[in-house]
Structure formats: C-alpha cells, structure tokens
Structure 1
Amino acid sequence: MSVEAQKETLGFQTEVKQLLHLMIHSLYSNKEIFLRELISNASDAADKLRFLALEDSALYEGDGELNIRITVDSEANTLTISDNGIGMNRDDVIEHLGTIAKSGTSSFLQQLTGDQQKDSQLIGQFGVGFYSAFIVAGKVDVRTRKAGDAADQGVFWSSEGEGEFTVEAITKETRGTEITLHLREEEKEFAESFRIRSLIKKYSDHIALPIIMKGEPAPATEEGEAPEEPKDETVNTATALWTRSKSEISEEEYQEFYKHVSHDFEDALTWAHNRVEGKLDYTSLLYIPTNAPFDLYERDTPRGLKLYVQRVFIMDKAEQFLPMYLRFIKGVLDSNDLSLNVSREILQEDRAVTSMKTALTKRVLDVLGKLANNEPEKYATFWKAFGQVLKEGPGEDFANKEKIAKLLRFATTNDDKEEQTHSLESYIERMQESQDKIYYVVAENHETAKNSPHLEVFRKKGIEVLLLSDRVDEWMMSHLNEFDGKQLVDVAKGELDLDSLDSEEDKKAKEEAEKTFESLTSQLKEVLKDKVNDVRVTNRLTDSPVCLVVGQYDMGLQMRRMLEAAGQKLPESKPSLEVNTDHPLIQQLNTETDDNRFSDMANILFDQATLAEGGQLTDPASYVARMNKLVLDLMK
C-alpha cells in the first residue's frame, strides 16, 4: 500500500470538538502553560521508553541519550517540541489524539459552569494536556514513530482543531515524537527563543531530562567571517527534583513539579519531601492536592505514585505503596531497595514494599495531623475535598485507626451546622462531667439527622450528638467503636442506656410508665407484629410520640436502605417501636376501645416513625387512607 493510500481524514470525538472550541476561545486563564503540558508529555514518553528498554534494550536503536529538543522559527512563526522517547504507531495516534481522557471527557463537559476561570481549573483533572497546544496554535502537526518499528512506519497527524484531523504514513528515521505548532499571528511571542527559555525555567526546570535549544548566534566578526553555528545548550537544570536537598528547592519549584506529576492546574495544598536511610533506602515526595479529581470515588480507576528505582522510571501508577483511602495522594517514590526489573506481581510480594507502605502511610497521616493542628483553614479545604475518602480509613487500616479518628471531622448538635468542623477531641472537651460515651445519629441527610426524634432527650439534657449524613458514615462507624477510651454509641440502636446521666427521678418515672402502659405496649406489639420486633416504653423522646430503634448489633436503617436500593438481598430484620407515654397521642391511644381505630392509629404511628427516620413507606396508599379516615372522624 502506498503512503498516499494510507492517508485518512477522520473526525474528532464529539466531546473533543466541544473541548477544543472552549480552549481556542481562551478557556485557560494563563495560555503560556501549554508549553509545560507538552514538555511533561515528552518527559513521560522518555520514562516509558526507559522502562520498556529494561527488558528490550534494542528499543534504544543505538541511541540511549534521551532528551527533549525545542526549536523556534520566528520567520515561519512555529514552535517545535520533539523527544526521542517511546513514540506512537498509527493506532496509538488515533486513540490518543482523537479522543481525550477516554472515559473522562463527558464527565468534564458536564461539570462546566460557563465561568471560564472556574472551568479552566477542571481541565487538569481530565488528562487533556496535548490539546492545550490549540490555545496558541491555529494548526498542529505531529510526526511520530514508535520505538522498535521500521523507519517507514512513521505517522503524520495534523489538525486545525476545527473538528477533524488527518493521519498518514511517513518515513521517520528516528524514534519519538515531534510536535510543530503553527502559531496564530497574535501569539508570535512564543516563536522567540528568549521567551521560550524563560518559560522552561519557570515551569519545567525540574524535568530530569535535558531540554535542549540552540544557543544564540554569535555576531559576525569584524573581518566579515561567517559566525559559528550556534551550539546546543541545555536550558533546564535536568536533575530529578526529588533527589535535590530540600533547602535548595523553592516553593515555586515544588508546586511546578506537582503540576508535572499530577497534571493538575492548581497548586498543591501541602507536601512532604523525605529521604530515608537505614534498613530501607528511598526518597519520597508526596503531595496533597487542593481539589478532588472527577474520578475520586471510582475505586477501580488506576492511581498511585510514580515509581522510580535508582532514578529509573518503573511505573506511572504504583498503587501498592499507599492504602486505598489515601488514593488522592500524588507524588514520586524513588527506591534503591527494589529490583530494576520489578513488576506488579513482584511488588505485591516484596517485603520492602510492605515496609514502605507502612512508613508512607504514617508520613501522610502525620502531615495531615500537622495541617489540622497548625493550619485549620487549609485542613478545612482538605476535608471538604477528601473527607469522605478519609472516612474509609477506619475500616481499611486497623493499625492507624486512632490516628485517622483524630483527623475526622463531624457536624454536631453543638451548633447544628451542616459543615463538618468538629473533631472527636473537641467533642470530648465539651462532654458533661458524668458523660462517658460519645453519641451519634446516622441519617440520609443533614436535615433529617438534626431533626431526628432520637435526639430529643439529648437536647433536653444538653448532651452533644454527632450528626452523620454521608453515605460512608454508618459503615465507618461500624469499625470505629471507641476513641480515647470512650465508646461511640448510635442513639438509634438498642435500648438507650443513660444511667450515668439519668436522675433517680427519671429512672423511677420510667419504671412506673412501663407498668402503667404494659397493656398498651402488648396490644401494639400484637397489631404490629408483622412490622416490629418489640414495643417498649422509651426514655429517649420528649416531643415525638414514637420512634423506631434497630437492634444493638443489627444493620442500621440507613445502611439497609442503601444496600436494598443497590439490589442486595438482606436477611429480614424488624425494628422495635418505642413509645413516649407522656405524649397526648399515646395517652389517648391507651384509652381507645375501638379495635379498628386502635389498629389504624397504631399503623399511622409506625408509618410516621418511618418517615421521621427518612425512610419510605411500603404502602403509602394505606397510610393516606388511614389519615383521611382519622381526619374525617375528627371533623364529625
């Protein structure tokens, strides 16, 4: 097949066309960062070649000196970024340059707000760095060949960013990728050598690969001899940033390196840079982002640290070095204690990996602890973005449960606000002198939680209760049974034991009520036998007539509803109905002699208790019919 016969014109994915339109119309607030993105991609291509060449050195094709070369042509108004990394074949080009972030682009477009400044912050979360070229270029040409392929298997890709691109076969003698930006007339500044050099120093000085440009031409001699040809110069430091001393690295350099490894467009919230020597020898540079990525809750999405062994890139997303609940951490790990031919399978069985994971997990939790203690406003930002993920920790990391518990934040009845700002330590500081337990309630949302009838006696006695309404909360609390020696108690489970807080008068009043209303509770239990496990007098209500309580060791109502909604089959479990004998409705029911009216009232009270818990009625029509009948009887 001839080269011309292999030329195709293809259309971009629909989402790509929309995104290109946004970019071309100045979606980025700072357009010069296109260079950072293209250099980062070139660096990644070199890393991938190094890794594959560990098993097949022939991929180097006799040239193991990896670098990035940048060429400016002010007359042609072009800028070219080339690398001698892994390169791409035809299928790679169509897959990677015809789509964006594969599964993520639709989600990206759905989150656009119309505010350019806010929307630009989303881009880095969706892996669309290559397309930043169209911010300054009216046309982009790509010449590439995959390492190991024959010279005549090169590929040429070209697009003006208007909805389609062309792909054709070419001959390319060297492996790697060359990207030429045909700059718009108003972007001539990016075809100037001085401007590009300053941007490399600003954004990409940390790249461990040499970034090479031609030096400035020497002036002509007085004798009229032609000046010497400009020599190649390495513009960046070309030293892996994490290998340098912390005292030598500025905050700006740390932040730019974060953007390189994370493809985020915002600064990191904080970071930890550590060198460990002893039984293990490794360097780690761990970052905590400011905002959550769009796929944070997709636990199957590949994620992890960039892994290097003796400064040789091994793996882009090494997930074995941090637990799943810390999956938001970005950064680099460089070890001298792992084999160069390490693979995922070997990593999972390596003792050094287990030791590093333990140490790195502790390091991250310590950083978060310092942030919480010393910079509460920053920690509040972190918690808003990643709090629900950190809540997975108590169930996944028994060894660090106490550390994680100190980092948790909650809404409470102390102020009834929805913002989760209170720690367990601050709750204990506010506990009543005779209080020996930490109380909490779980509900579908914050409003339901703070208005739960289970809180009535606690509000009356001035006892603070944690208000939990995140989906993960009930699961988390099933693994967090105590903190600082204090038992955590769900106020909606089991019989409420307030012995240390109840007065002798309260205890005596409850005993008398149980005797006085013994017949009523027995009758209610008979009428509701298909719905409840037991009916008993309560000490937890002051304003509501009834409430539902699950068994001490049963699954909570909220968790049960979530699992049933997900289609899981669960064993039958009936709640208990607790009645407030001081409420007029219960006192009126105690004197009711009509069996039908008693049955209707009993079922109405049960349904109302279900609604107060945020639940759904199994037979709403019957509830409405009973209520209508009751209202009509009252109107007669």
Structure 2
Amino acid sequence: MAKKQFKAESKRLLDLMVNSIYTHKEIFLRELISNASDAEDKLAYKSLTDENVDIKRKDLKITIVPDKEGRLLTVSDNGIGMSKEDLESNLGTIARSGSGQFKANLSEDDKAADKIDVIGQFGVGFYSAFMVADHVTVISKAWDSDEAWVWQSDGADGYTVTQCEKDAPGTDVIMHLKADEDGENYSKYLETYELQELIKKYSDYIRYPIVMEVEDYRQKEKPADAGDDYKPEWETVKEWKTINSMVPLWQRQKSKVKPEEYNAFYKEKFGDWQDPLAVIHTSAEGAVTYKAMLYIPAQTPYDFYTREYQKGLQLYSSGVMIMDKCADLLPDCFRFVKGVVDSPDFSLNISREILQHDRQLKVIATALEKKIKSELVKMQKDDREKYEKFWKAFGTQIKYGVVADYGAKKELLQDLLLFWSSKENAYTTLAAYKDRMPEDQPYYYYACGQSVDKIAKLPQVERILDKGYEILYCTEDVDDFVMKALAEVDGKKFKSVADEDALPQTDEEKKAAAEKAEAGKGVLEAVKEALGDQVKEVRISSILKSGACCLSADGPVSLEMERYMNKLEGGEHMKAERVLELNPDAAPFAALKRAVDAGDKDTVAKYAKVLYGQALLLADLPLEDPAEFAQLVSSLMV
C-alpha cells in the first residue's frame, strides 16, 4: 500500500505540532483521552436522536492498555468510530477537527448543542502522540458500518489506510513508544502508576469511565484447616479498575455535598493536612458560564512569602484540566486561595495548555474576587474566632495588598483589616473603631512599634490616651505604609501619634508653645551643636506630656519606614531626617538649662548624647555605639 502524504503540507508543520505547541510531553495522554471522550459523546448523542443506535450511556468507556514487552500503549474507546473517509479527512489533514466540525453542525440547533459538549476544537491533539511514539496505528470501525480500517504513520513521511477486522465499533490508538535516549524517559508511560497519575491529574473528570488493569495486593483467604499459628499471606492480583472520578465535586449541588466531602477533596487535591477555614462553591450562567470551588486555607504554606510560591487556581475546560495554576484568576491580595474553576467558555490556545487573555477570563476573575471578599467579611461577622485565625495566617498578605500598586485595592480590602485596639485590648476593624470615636476626635490614630507592650509605653501615646482617644497599635513593618496608603476612610484621615499636629492646638496653646520655644532657644542650640549631623533639628515638643524626649522625622521617610528598609538588602541607605524633641516641662530639660547657663559644654554634650540615645531606644532604632552609651550613663552616676 503506497503511502499518502498529509494534506496540510509537510514535515515542518508536523514538527511544529510535535515540538513547539505542547510544553510537556505528558499532555499526549490528556489529548487522546479527550478525543476518546468526544467519540463517546458523539455516539451518546446519536443514541438520543437515532433509534437505530442501540447503546446505553453506562456502557461507554475508555480503556488504557500498556504493553511493556512490545513498548505499546493503547487508548481505546467504544464510541462513534471512523470510516475510511473519516480517517483520511480527520487524521490525514493536520489541524482539521472532526469534533469541531461536529459541533459546528450542531450550532444551528441550540437544543441539540446543549446536549453535548465535545472537547476537541483544533484537530491537533491526536498528533501529540508523535511526541512519545515513533509509530502510531489507529484501528477504527464506524458505528453504522461493517468495515473496519487501520491508519498507520511514522510521522511526517505520510500515512497508509488499509482495511482490517474489528469486532465492535470504536477506535483504538496504538502507540509504539520511542526508545529512551538523550535524557528522555518514554518507558515511564508504560508504567501503570505513572498512567494513573496522569489520568488523575488531567482527565479525572472525563464523563466516561477510564479503565485500566492494575496490580493490587490483597490478603489470601485463610484455609479452612489453618491452625492458630497461621500467618496471613498476601498475593498480587490484577484487576480492571476505573481510574477517574468522572463527576467533579463542583458540578454537584451545594446542598448535596457534605462538609467532610469538601474537606477531603481539599486535603487530597492541595496537599494540606488541615481542614480549610472556608469553602466557596459558586456558579454563574449567562454571558460567561462557569463553576468554581474555592478554599481559604487555615495555615500559611511554608513557602508563601518566598519567590518559589506560585499562586493560581486549577483551570478546567469541560472537565479537562488545562492549567494547574492559573494566576490570572486571582489578585495578588488573595494569592493564598486554592481551588478550581471549570468553564466551557474559555478561549483556549491551540495546545489547550495556556489561556488566551480574553474578556471571559477577566469577568470570572472579577466575580471571584468579590466572592472571596464577601466570604471573608461574612466570616469576620459570624465567626470572629475563625476570622482571627485567618488573620494570623494571612493578615500580612492583606496589608501588602493595600499597599501594592499605589493602593489600587485599598477600597476592596479596608473592611478586612484588623488592628490591635488600645481601648478594647483586642483586635478591631476600622468600622468598629470609627463607631466608638468621640464626636470631637479628628483622626484615626495609630502608633507603630515592635510590640503592643512597647507601643503602650511610648511617650508619644500618652497625650492621645489622656484625651480619651483610641489608638490602633501597629506591630508589623508594613503597617506605616498601610496607613499612608489608606490615607482616609469615611471622611476621617489617619494620623500617627508621633506627628506634631496629631492634636490640634488652640490659639492659647500655640502661644504658650511659642513662648516655651523662645525661652528654651539657647538649650536647643546647644544640644544641636553637641549632636551635630546626627539630627536635622532639636525642638521643643508638642507631642510629649511627661516623657523627657522622643525622636520624630521630617520629610517623606518616617522612622518606621527606615526601620523597615534597614531589613531589606540595599535599603539601609534610606534614612529619615531625624528630629530630637525635648519636653521643656521635664526635669532633664531643667538640668540641661542649668548646664547651658553655667557654660558647661562638656556636661551639655553628655546630657545631649544620653537623651538622644534614649530617643533612639524608644524608637526601636539601634544605638550607633552601645558601649559608649553605657559608659556615658555610668559616668553621670559617679
């Protein structure tokens, strides 16, 4: 039999199909199973519309048979089958899809189209077999024919079609696997465990049973005459087993899925040992049809804050997995969410490996973002203990989301934020904080530090608390950035207790402060001279009540930002312009004034360095020379 040449031109096109379109060779099994499923679908549809087709849907199946000795892997279906003309048309023309044509023929009849959802679109999936095989044989018998035909090809050199014998309708795709060479292991596709993993990974939700003969170990039956000392014996048996689940959990009605089923699916699918905090089971129909099942984990993955962590949802199209992690379906702020999305409406690229960026994808992503936010708000209101567990695991990520992209997501996320309350001595939302505000309170007040206890002892918080105002205690490095990104919520601005204007002053208070500054001018100048370039300015403080000193900053870089940047590689060059603030009503200021009035520059310098060191410690900033500071304090005690 003379070889026929592929109609779609040449070796170059087939090489492109085999070597360029598919990223991973293992995809070939997914493609062939999807084609087999399409063949089953077509026959199932025929049985609904043609009384001559005597077959029940429950009898349809896909069979996988590995043959190690012959290096053969067979994928069989008992679907609609192909005639000689079908083989030449569908397999002799690269990029012609029989499934695509079948679907096109149905498009004029919407009712008919709704009954069947074939997977194939492009007509190239079959040729993925040549990624792993050096010879492919297709034996097929159409459902309405007594003749069977065999199609054979070694690749781009062409193909032959000859008549053969086949008992039942359907198609067998028989691949002779390539030899293992150049680091490629093709033999693994003859191992039952490898085939089972690939079926579970890509084709678990194909609607028909995928059966394969697998080895199992079981205990032999105990002989009737066995004595008390009988030791159980085990044997290896081979049995046919359905590998795939067929009906995905997300396709079932929510009311018919038990919580333990949701949890078991999550732990098996995503490798977690803890139950998730929440599950979001949702669907939509209309312009874009999809089903989704999302999970909010209870713990932070070990690599969550590393570059190695990959966000994304598993993406399915009509039950076939297209992507393991589709990042475009999740915003970064919700990158901790796990789950699956299944839609027949995705615009796939030719290899079904990656998604074309289209309107459908954006619509689904926007809807899921709202669903996740809604579920978290509901958890926050209905189960505060569970929400605080979530916050402990992923609160930092929510805060990063507020800061990212110049605050683009801050309105989405601000309702989810929790901060420690000075008044409640517990976590509070911004909404609850605002509800407790006295009418005369001008701002949301916050204070940054390394811990709640340390912040509560800062001299800057004293005057705010004495006014009866509540303070949000911020203990994470990112918090100062969060407050600046939020800027204002519900008409109220955020103000650090360290800001000079944190408490608006009356005219009388401003006049008294100016008089104190003028009276202490000589002291301020002497301290600035003693400290030199270590500080930008020394001034009379309007933010201290009983404390002797504190450190503040002028300019866009706050002390909190400096602390944060010091932890980053290359960030040590970002410095705040430091200002030493002194309380003119505190005893240390009086001691300074006596030394200045006496012209004792040595004592002034010592006092200035001690106060500056205290201010650094209060601000959680490092002393430049701890040994010198300790010696200085000791010398003043003599």
Q: Same fold (TM over 0.5)?
A: yes
Change (3 A) 1:404 1:85: farther
Instruction: Tell me if the contact between 1:154 and 1:172 (Cα under 8 Å) persists in the aligned partners.
Output: no
- 1:306 is matched by which residue type in structure 2? Q
- 2:132 is matched by which residue type in structure 1? G
Change (3 A) 1:536 1:86: farther
- 2:378 is matched by which residue type in structure 1? K
Match of 2:484 in 1: 478
1:561 maps to which of 563, 574, 578: 563
- 2:324 is matched by which residue type in structure 1? D
Matched, 1:388 2:396: yes
Instruction: Tell me if the contact between 1:534 and 1:577 (Cα under 8 Å) persists in the aligned partners.
Output: yes
Change (3 A) 1:343 1:590: farther
1:441 maps to which of 441, 444, 447: 447
After superposing the two structures, state which structure 1 stretch, 475-484 or 321-330, moved more: 475-484
After TM superposition, list the pairs within 5 Å mapping 1:184-199 onto structure 2: none
Change (3 A) 1:171 1:361: closer
Deviations 1:492-530 (A, max 9, x none): 24x22412xx56664454233223222222332333231
Once residues 308 and 477 of structure 1 are traced to their aligned partners in structure 2, the CA distance between those partners, rounded to angstroms, is: 39
1:267 maps to which of 275, 288, 299: 275
Q: CA deviation at 1:394?
A: 0.9
- 1:317 is matched by which residue type in structure 2? K
Match of 2:87 in 1: none
After TM superposition, list the pairs within 5 Å mapping 1:104-115 onto structure 2: none
Deviations 1:426-476 (A, max 9, x none): 111222220120111112333332222211211222221111111322232
Match of 1:531 in 2: 534
Computing the radius of gyration from Cα coordinates, the structure with the larger value is 2
Once residues 485 and 360 of structure 2 are traced to their aligned partners in structure 1, the CA distance between those partners, rounded to angstroms, is: 28
- 1:563 is matched by which residue type in structure 2? M
Q: CA deviation at 1:581?
A: 1.0
Change (3 A) 1:629 1:510: same
1:411 maps to which of 393, 399, 420: 420
Change (3 A) 1:54 1:358: farther
Once residues 152 and 311 of structure 1 are traced to their aligned partners in structure 2, the CA distance between those partners, rounded to angstroms, is: 27
Once residues 85 and 373 of structure 1 are traced to their aligned partners in structure 2, the CA distance between those partners, rounded to angstroms, is: 54
Matched, 1:629 2:635: yes
Change (3 A) 1:576 1:62: closer
Match of 1:496 in 2: 501
- 2:420 is matched by which residue type in structure 1? A
Secondary structure of 2:435 counterpart: helix
Once residues 389 and 256 of structure 1 are traced to their aligned partners in structure 2, the CA distance between those partners, rounded to angstroms, is: 26
Once residues 626 and 208 of structure 1 are traced to their aligned partners in structure 2, the CA distance between those partners, rounded to angstroms, is: 80
Change (3 A) 1:62 1:471: closer
Instruction: Tell me if the contact between 2:464 and 2:503 (Cα under 8 Å) persists in the aligned partners.
Output: no
Q: CA deviation at 1:325?
A: 2.0
After superposing the two structures, state which structure 1 stretch, 600-609 or 291-300, moved more: 291-300
Matched, 1:148 2:132: yes
Once residues 286 and 87 of structure 1 are traced to their aligned partners in structure 2, the CA distance between those partners, rounded to angstroms, is: 40
Instruction: Tell me if the contact between 1:84 and 1:177 (Cα under 8 Å) persists in the aligned partners.
Output: no
- 2:283 is matched by which residue type in structure 1? R
- 2:501 is matched by which residue type in structure 1? L
Once residues 596 and 85 of structure 1 are traced to their aligned partners in structure 2, the CA distance between those partners, rounded to angstroms, is: 93
Deviations 1:358-398 (A, max 9, x none): 22212111111111112212211111111111111112364
Once residues 303 and 387 of structure 1 are traced to their aligned partners in structure 2, the CA distance between those partners, rounded to angstroms, is: 17
Q: CA deviation at 1:559?
A: 2.5
Q: CA deviation at 1:306?
A: 0.3
Match of 1:549 in 2: 552
Instruction: Tell me if the contact between 1:314 and 1:342 (Cα under 8 Å) persists in the aligned partners.
Output: no
After superposing the two structures, state which structure 1 stretch, 480-489 or 391-400, moved more: 391-400
Once residues 511 and 62 of structure 1 are traced to their aligned partners in structure 2, the CA distance between those partners, rounded to angstroms, is: 82
Match of 1:521 in 2: 524
Once residues 369 and 210 of structure 1 are traced to their aligned partners in structure 2, the CA distance between those partners, rounded to angstroms, is: 41
- RMSD across aligned positions (CA): 4.2
Once residues 298 and 575 of structure 1 are traced to their aligned partners in structure 2, the CA distance between those partners, rounded to angstroms, is: 33
Once residues 86 and 372 of structure 1 are traced to their aligned partners in structure 2, the CA distance between those partners, rounded to angstroms, is: 53
Once residues 300 and 170 of structure 1 are traced to their aligned partners in structure 2, the CA distance between those partners, rounded to angstroms, is: 29
Matched, 1:585 2:588: yes
Matched, 1:246 2:254: yes
Secondary structure of 2:621 counterpart: coil
Deviations 1:89-141 (A, max 9, x none): xxxxxxxxxxxxxxxxxxxxxxxxxxxxxxxxxxxxxxxxxxxxxxxxxxxxx
Once residues 63 and 176 of structure 1 are traced to their aligned partners in structure 2, the CA distance between those partners, rounded to angstroms, is: 21
Once residues 87 and 435 of structure 1 are traced to their aligned partners in structure 2, the CA distance between those partners, rounded to angstroms, is: 79
Secondary structure of 2:544 counterpart: coil
Once residues 272 and 66 of structure 2 are traced to their aligned partners in structure 1, the CA distance between those partners, rounded to angstroms, is: 23
2:287 maps to which of 279, 287, 294: 279
Instruction: Tell me if the contact between 1:311 and 1:334 (Cα under 8 Å) persists in the aligned partners.
Output: yes
Matched, 1:326 2:334: yes
Instruction: Tell me if the contact between 1:84 and 1:174 (Cα under 8 Å) persists in the aligned partners.
Output: no
Secondary structure of 1:275 counterpart: strand
Instruction: Tell me if the contact between 2:64 and 2:212 (Cα under 8 Å) persists in the aligned partners.
Output: no
Once residues 279 and 62 of structure 1 are traced to their aligned partners in structure 2, the CA distance between those partners, rounded to angstroms, is: 25
Q: CA deviation at 1:350?
A: 2.9
Once residues 518 and 398 of structure 2 are traced to their aligned partners in structure 1, the CA distance between those partners, rounded to angstroms, is: 48
Q: CA deviation at 1:482?
A: 1.4
Once residues 412 and 149 of structure 1 are traced to their aligned partners in structure 2, the CA distance between those partners, rounded to angstroms, is: 66
Q: CA deviation at 1:604?
A: 1.1
Match of 1:289 in 2: 297
After superposing the two structures, state which structure 1 stretch, 389-398 or 609-618, moved more: 389-398
Equivalences, count: 459
Change (3 A) 1:586 1:211: farther
Matched, 1:402 2:402: no
Match of 1:350 in 2: 358
Match of 2:577 in 1: 574
Once residues 31 and 67 of structure 2 are traced to their aligned partners in structure 1, the CA distance between those partners, rounded to angstroms, is: 11
Change (3 A) 1:415 1:630: farther
* TM-score normalised by structure 2 residue count: 0.63
Match of 1:136 in 2: none
Instruction: Tell me if the contact between 1:84 and 1:175 (Cα under 8 Å) persists in the aligned partners.
Output: no
Secondary structure of 1:528 counterpart: helix
Instruction: Tell me if the contact between 2:188 and 2:194 (Cα under 8 Å) persists in the aligned partners.
Output: no
- 1:405 is matched by which residue type in structure 2? Q
Once residues 552 and 65 of structure 2 are traced to their aligned partners in structure 1, the CA distance between those partners, rounded to angstroms, is: 64
1:177 maps to which of 181, 186, 193: 193
Change (3 A) 1:389 1:577: same
Change (3 A) 1:598 1:245: same
Q: CA deviation at 1:357?
A: 2.2
Q: CA deviation at 1:58?
A: 10
Structure 1, unpaired ranges of 5+: 1-49, 67-82, 89-144, 156-168, 181-199, 215-229
Identity of aligned residues (%): 33
Structure 2, unpaired ranges of 5+: 1-21, 39-62, 69-128, 135-175, 214-237
Instruction: Tell me if the contact between 2:279 and 2:294 (Cα under 8 Å) persists in the aligned partners.
Output: yes
Instruction: Tell me if the contact between 2:349 and 2:355 (Cα under 8 Å) persists in the aligned partners.
Output: no
Change (3 A) 1:52 1:265: same
Secondary structure of 2:602 counterpart: helix
Once residues 26 and 241 of structure 2 are traced to their aligned partners in structure 1, the CA distance between those partners, rounded to angstroms, is: 29
Change (3 A) 1:341 1:170: closer
Deviations 1:31-89 (A, max 9, x none): xxxxxxxxxxxxxxxxxxx99689857974999469xxxxxxxxxxxxxxxx969999x
Once residues 490 and 393 of structure 1 are traced to their aligned partners in structure 2, the CA distance between those partners, rounded to angstroms, is: 21
Secondary structure of 1:391 counterpart: helix
Match of 1:194 in 2: none
Once residues 35 and 479 of structure 2 are traced to their aligned partners in structure 1, the CA distance between those partners, rounded to angstroms, is: 55
Instruction: Tell me if the contact between 2:420 and 2:428 (Cα under 8 Å) persists in the aligned partners.
Output: yes
